[in-house]
Amino acid sequence: MKIDKEIAQQIIALKEADIALRDELIEQGQLWNGYNKKMENLHIKNAKSLDKIIKSIGYPTIDKVGVEASEAAWLVIQHAISLPAFMKRCLNLLNESVDKGSADPIQLAYLSDRIAVYEGRPQRYGTSYDWDESGELNPKPYDDLTKVNQRRKLLGLNSVEEQTVLMRRRVEAEGEQPPSDYKNRNQRYIDWRKEVGWI
């Protein structure tokens, strides 16, 4: 199958807009206090643009749009957290693509974990992190550490313990701090999940 370069560029542009806004918000110190409204609006806009592309060509697999655009599409889907139905539909399409060998199983692991977390279910791969009540960055709940690390190893990922060290270094480098009021932040998170339809 011939790669559609025009569609590939459209998808890459969505990712670039996402990263540019994220960098801008980090610089302004506005990224970490809840879900920034400008960021949420961009995530929704990007998801709607990608949805049109998916309706036109199917899931943007590597053979259709190339590696960079396929990874960009996955990032847009990962960030479409205000649109549960869209994310779940994409999970099914990505699952089918992985089964056919035309998409990355690591992307499927991250997306399935993210959806599980928002639905309040344990992760299978331990890829989603957040601050806990004691102000430490840790993976959100997962089913069993030994099994999680076995699944990660099968995909060529490092262990949860190794990844936790890397994630803590990353948030430190970006200047992210634990929430000053964990209970209030957690309540806002629950309210938002209800509002958008995760629970």
Torsion sign, CA atoms 155, 158, 161, 163:
negative
Domain boundaries in the chain? 1-83, 120-199
The whole-angstrom distance between residue 125's C-alpha and the CA centroid of its chain comes to 13
53: nearest Cα among 73, 26, 39? 73
User: How would you write the pLDDT of the chain (199 residues) with one tens digit per residue?
Assistant: 789 999 999 999 999 999 999 999 988 888 777 789 999 999 999 999 999 999 999 999 999 999 999 999 999 999 999 999 999 999 999 999 999 999 999 999 999 999 999 999 999 999 999 999 999 999 999 999 999 999 999 999 999 999 999 999 999 998 888 998 999 999 999 999 999 999 9
Torsion sign, CA atoms 103, 107, 109, 113:
negative
User: Please, what's the b/e burial string for 92-109 (b: 16 or more CB within 10 A of its CB; e: otherwise)?
Assistant: ebbbebbeeebbbbbbbb
The model's pTM:
0.95
